[in-house]
């Protein structure tokens, strides 16, 4: 267990509303990632962070923003939720750097109606 | 273009019936190949990292191997508790991203 907590675990929201998902780690690791997992697509990277206030886009970043003001917290915001953003969202950390394995949280199931 | 392709999509085995899962990849330079296990409703759980062709890693009934174009996850004498989805991911030399396959759903029947 790499000490990763995602909140909330489940959320239902309406189209057009902003939504923020939180990832909290207790181990002070530098690299953090947000993925979404959809049937037929596998895990796809949304954004990642390599330090406080240092973030970069992944392959499916449109409609999402992130912030990392503290080492332990990485926030994912859906600026205006759409039904296509209904998914399971996973946070991950990389223990030693970008070229080592990632450890995942339990996921957040988001439904946009 | 898919960079990671896993096959088969689903596999049903009798308890004790050994088999292999395949992960083929197309990246210009491989930094690492990763295997994960995912149980329903949970996040992926790390199993192995392989870095170079010819490398092998083992853990209990699982053994992962790597060539220049693919990796195999061999499952020897599986048990029902090995039932899960097995995910493969690669990381290129040029970036920090992990590219995941869509997984193989394994069911082991008692």
Q: How many domains does chain A have?
A: 1
Of the partner residues A40, A44, A101, the one whose CB lies closest to the CB of residue B46? A101
Is B103 in CB contact (< 8 Å) with chain A?
Answer: yes
Whether A7 has a pLDDT exceeding 70, the answer reads: yes
Residue A40 lies in a domain: yes
Is B96 in CB contact (< 8 Å) with chain A?
Answer: yes
Residue A81 lies in a domain: no
What lies within 8 Å, CB to CB, of A62 at 6+ separation is none
Residue A82 lies in a domain: no
| pLDDT at position B7 | 97
pLDDT per residue as tens digits for the range B24-50: 999 888 889 999 999 999 999 999 999
Record: contact A104-B97, CB cut-off 8 A: no
pLDDT bin (cut points 50, 70, 90) of residue A92 is very high
Closest chain A residue to B87 measured between Cα atoms?
A: A42
The ranges assigned to domains in chain B are 4-109
Whether B1 has a pLDDT exceeding 60, the answer reads: no
Residue A11 lies in a domain: yes
Record: contact A42-B98, CB cut-off 8 A: no
Q: Which of A64, A74, A78, A65 is nearest to A104 (CA)?
A: A74
Q: Is A22 or A59 the better-scoring residue by pLDDT?
A: A22
pLDDT bin (cut points 50, 70, 90) of residue A102 is confident
Residue A84 lies in a domain: no
B60-78 burial: b if 16+ Cβ within 10 Å, else e: eebbbbbeeebbbbebeeb
Look at domain B4-109 and name its CATH class.
mainly beta
Which range of residues forms the domain containing residue A35?
4-76+93-112
| Rounded average pLDDT over A68-80 | 96
Q: Is B67 helix (H, G, I), strand (E, B) or coil?
A: coil
pLDDT per residue as tens digits for the range B51-81: 999 999 999 999 999 999 999 999 999 999 9
Q: Which residues of chain A lie closer than 8 angstroms to B103, CB-CB?
A: 42
CA angle B69–B74–B79, rounded 5-degree value: 155
Residue A20's CATH number:
2.60.40.10
Q: Which helix (H) or strand (E) holds A92?
A: strand A87-94
Q: What are phi and psi of A85, to 5 degrees?
A: -95, 5
């Amino acid at each position: 267990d790499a000490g990763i907590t995602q909140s909330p675990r489940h959320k239902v929201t309406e189209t057009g509303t902003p939504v923020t998902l939180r990832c909290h780690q207790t181990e002070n690791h530098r690299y953090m990632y947000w993925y979404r997992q959809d049937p037929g697509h596998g895990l796809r990277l949304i954004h990642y962070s390599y330090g406080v206030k240092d973030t970069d886009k992944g392959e499916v970043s449109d409609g999402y923003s992130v912030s990392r003001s503290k080492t332990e917290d990485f926030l994912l915001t859906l600026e205006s939720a759409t039904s296509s953003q209904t998914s399971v969202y996973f946070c991950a950390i990389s223990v030693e750097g970008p070229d080592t394995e990632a450890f995942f949280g339990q996921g957040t199931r988001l439904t946009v109606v | 273009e898919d960079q990671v392709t896993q096959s088969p999509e689903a596999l049903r085995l009798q308890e004790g019936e050994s088999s292999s899962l395949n992960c083929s990849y197309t990246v210009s330079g491989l930094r690492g190949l990763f295997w994960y296990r995912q149980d329903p409703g949970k996040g992926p759980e790390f199993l192995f990292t392989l870095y170079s062709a010819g490398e092998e890693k083992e853990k209990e009934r699982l053994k992962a191997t790597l060539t220049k174009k693919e990796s195999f996850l061999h499952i020897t004498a599986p048990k029902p508790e090995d039932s899960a989805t097995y995910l493969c991911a690669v990381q290129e030399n040029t970036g920090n991203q992990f590219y995941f396959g869509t997984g193989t759903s394994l069911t082991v029947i008692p």
